[in-house]
Amino acid sequence: MSWITIITIVLILAVCIAISIFFSFKRRIDKKSQDDDDTELRQAYQDVRRQIDRGHAASGHFFF
């Protein structure tokens, strides 16, 4: 294998891991915002999710 092939494979793996972490974080925030008994924490999780959505809207959904 050439170095270009190895670098390409490593970059693809890094992108896949980053995407899986991103979606895992979003899923965890969504679950906690619905399941938490403490209303203040639930509201905080919903605010975090709202800020994430605003950031995506500001970027024109360029990344996700």
CA distance 60 to 9: 29
Segments in 1-64 forming alpha helices (H): 3-35, 39-58
Extents of the domains making up the chain:
22-57
Structure tokens at 64: 């996700």
How confident is the model at residue 9, as a pLDDT? 95
Virtual torsion, Cα 31, 34, 36, 42, nearest 10 deg: 110
pLDDT in tens, 29-64: 777 777 767 788 888 888 888 887 787 666 665 555
Provide the pLDDT confidence category of residue 4 given band limits of 50, 70 and 90: very high
